[in-house]
Amino acid sequence: MKRATKIVSLGRDKKWTKGVINPPVVRASTVVFDSLEHLAKATAGRGKGELFYGRRGTDTHFALQAAIAELEGGVGTALYPSGAAAISGALLSFLKSGDHLLMVDSAYEPTRDLCDKLLAGLGIETTYYDPMIGAEIANLIRPNTKVLYLESPGSITMEVQDVPTLCQIAHQHGLVAMLDNTWSSPINCRPFELGVDISIQAATKYIVGHSDVMMGTATANEQHWEQLRENSYLLGQCVSADDAYLALRGLRTLGVRMAQQEKNALEIAHWLETRPEVDHIRHPAFPSCPGHEFFKRDYLGSNGLFSFVLKTGNRQAMKAFVEGMQHFKMGFSWGGYESLIVAEFGVDKIRTVTHWDSSKPMFRLHIGLEDTEDLIADLEAAFARYHEALSN
């Protein structure tokens, strides 16, 4: 099956849909059994797609789990109430007190907070590494290192990692390789073919796609699925059937949304590159982005998210740039159909082993499904406000 066909078809088995197109919303806590035999069968099959108890999922959840697992290329998917919960759930499934974690320096800020606060308190030590470290990651591995965590491209600064090399070295040392694969969604990267053991998605972003549900997924290969699934259960993680339904509904149009948002974003990024104020673009498809060669080698496409850096400016000029936008809204959770802008002030504060120069203004854009002419006009007006603020 080709990708577009998969997006439309996966998870639509008749045992879940009961003959209609989308699986019904099956809300449940308790499940009632007809006999001891029935109960015994359900108990044996719990966590394996058998209806047993609401927290273990219903047809709505099973359909979503099957679709994501197959799209990502793993064997099983655990659902979590947010992307952040999927990250903590995956890490806590494979780390215990006394263990050591290798975390990419360009990780999503709440992931860093989890390491520095909660994991540190449990006696799990984190070492941050340069996203562009490549094979030299081997030098940071200790006898008690258990997990190598990647996020590619990195948050805000967009460094693309050499995923296959990092995973290969992780496996040589018996580590579990985890990837925050949110940027690619389940369709623009084949994480398990690159050697990843656990692929994490903030489904909140492109899978849901309409900025109205919080959800996370963690998908594992054969070797790690049982441990991930059992631990997500022990942590009590589950999502509502209504949210699972919305995520499945969002998923069905993922292919066309991503293709259009990728096209729109590339057009706007190329326009920005021609602006004299712009220092450089941080978009994996641009040679100015660290790891661009890995993007070309390992990824099937990009999306609506990228950053750009200006040559000069100050806080007042940045404020003038982002305030007064007509179409770009100021907000964080990208992956919806709408365009967003964020002024990035303190990136240097969320990097500890790599250097970031925060003196140059930086903005992150998420390009939605609006007409690019309107979006470019919005950015042109922003540059005019920026110049006015600079000259005051």
Site residues (CB under 6 A) for ligand PLP? 82-84, 108, 151, 155, 180, 182, 202, 204-205, 214, 216, 333
Q: Compute and round to an integer the Cα radius of gyration of the chain.
A: 22
Q: Which is nearer to ligand PLP, 85 or 281 (CB)?
A: 85
Q: How far is the CB of 57 from ligand PLP (least distance, A)?
A: 19
Rounded Cα distance between 161 and 293, Å, is: 10
List phi, psi (to 5°) of 194. -85, -5
How many CB atoms neighbour CB 362 within 10 A? 22
Q: Which of 56, 146, 190, 205 is catalytic?
A: 205
Of 343, 382, 385, 342, nearest in space to 366 by CA:
342
Rounded Cα distance between 371 and 255, Å, is: 18
Whether 56 is catalytic is no
Q: Which is nearer to ligand PLP, 11 or 83 (CB)?
A: 83
Q: Which is nearer to ligand PLP, 17 or 333 (CB)?
A: 333
Q: How far is the CB of 89 from ligand PLP (least distance, A)?
A: 11
Rounded Cα distance between 231 and 106, Å, is: 27
Whether 146 is catalytic is no
Rounded Cα distance between 145 and 273, Å, is: 42
Q: Check: CB of residue 106 under 8 Å from CB of residue 180.
A: no
Q: Which is nearer to ligand PLP, 94 or 108 (CB)?
A: 108
Rounded Cα distance between 244 and 59, Å, is: 10
Q: Which of 55, 96, 297, 360 is catalytic?
A: 55
Tell how strand 216-220 and strand 278-282 pair up: unpaired
Q: How far is the CB of 253 from ligand PLP (least distance, A)?
A: 19
Whether 245 is catalytic is no
Q: Which of 130, 162, 180, 298 is catalytic?
A: 180
For residue 360 the two structure tokens come to 């140059």
Q: How far is the CB of 8 from ligand PLP (least distance, A)?
A: 24
Q: How far is the CB of 183 from ligand PLP (least distance, A)?
A: 6
Q: Which is nearer to ligand PLP, 74 or 81 (CB)?
A: 81
Nearest residue to the partner ligand PLP, using Cβ: 83
Whether 53 is catalytic is no
Q: How far is the CB of 335 from ligand PLP (least distance, A)?
A: 8
List phi, psi (to 5°) of 364. -110, 130
Q: Is 18 left (phi over 0), alpha (psi -120 to 50) or beta?
A: left
Q: Which is nearer to ligand PLP, 227 or 333 (CB)?
A: 333
How many CB atoms neighbour CB 280 within 10 A? 17
Q: Cα dihedral sign for 164, 169, 170, 171?
A: positive
Catalytic positions are 55, 108, 180, 205
